[in-house]
Amino acid sequence: MSKVKIQGNASGTGVVTLTAPNTNTDRTITLPDETVSLTGAPAGLDDVGGVARATSGLLFNGDTAAANALDDYEEGTWTASLTGNGSAPSTAATATGTYTKIGRQVTVHVYLANKNTSGASGEMQVTGLPFNPSQSTTGVYASYGLEAQGSFCVAYARTSGTVEFLEMNDGAVWGAVQIVAGSSKYLDLAMTYET
Site residues (vs other proteins, CB under 8 A): 74-79, 85, 99, 123, 128-132, 134, 136, 156, 158-162, 166, 173-174, 176, 195
Beta carbon of residue 3, minimum distance to other proteins (angstroms, whole number): 44
Pick between residue 175 and residue 182 the one whose CB is nearest to other proteins: 175
Closer residue to other proteins, CB minimum distance, 176 or 181 = 176
Give the span between the Cα atoms of 154 and 164, in whole angstroms.
Answer: 9
Enter the DSSP assignment of 66. Answer: G
Nearer to other proteins, 63 or 72 (CB): 72
Cα dist from 55 to 20, 39, 69, 70, 71, whole Å: 33, 18, 11, 11, 9
CB of 75 vs other proteins, minimal distance in Å: 7
**Helix, strand, coil percentages, rounded to 5, for the chain:** 0, 45, 55
Least CB distance to other proteins at residue 176 (A): 8
The CA angle 77-82-84, to the nearest 5 degrees, is 145
> Taking the complex as a whole, how short is the minimal distance between the CB of residue 78 and other proteins, in angstroms?
5
Rg (Cα) of the chain, in Å, rounded?
A: 28
Q: Closer to other proteins at the Cβ: 144 or 174?
A: 174
From CA 191, how far away is CA 80, in angstroms rounded?
Answer: 13
38 versus 48: smaller Cβ distance to other proteins? 48
Phi-psi region of 139 (alpha: psi -120 to 50; beta: other; left: phi over 0): beta
Give the nearer residue to other proteins in terms of CB position, either 129 or 191: 129
The least CB distance from residue 194 to other proteins, in Å, is 12
Spatial distance between the Cα atoms of 110 and 118, rounded to a whole number of angstroms: 20
Give me the least distance between CB of 134 and other proteins, in Å please: 7
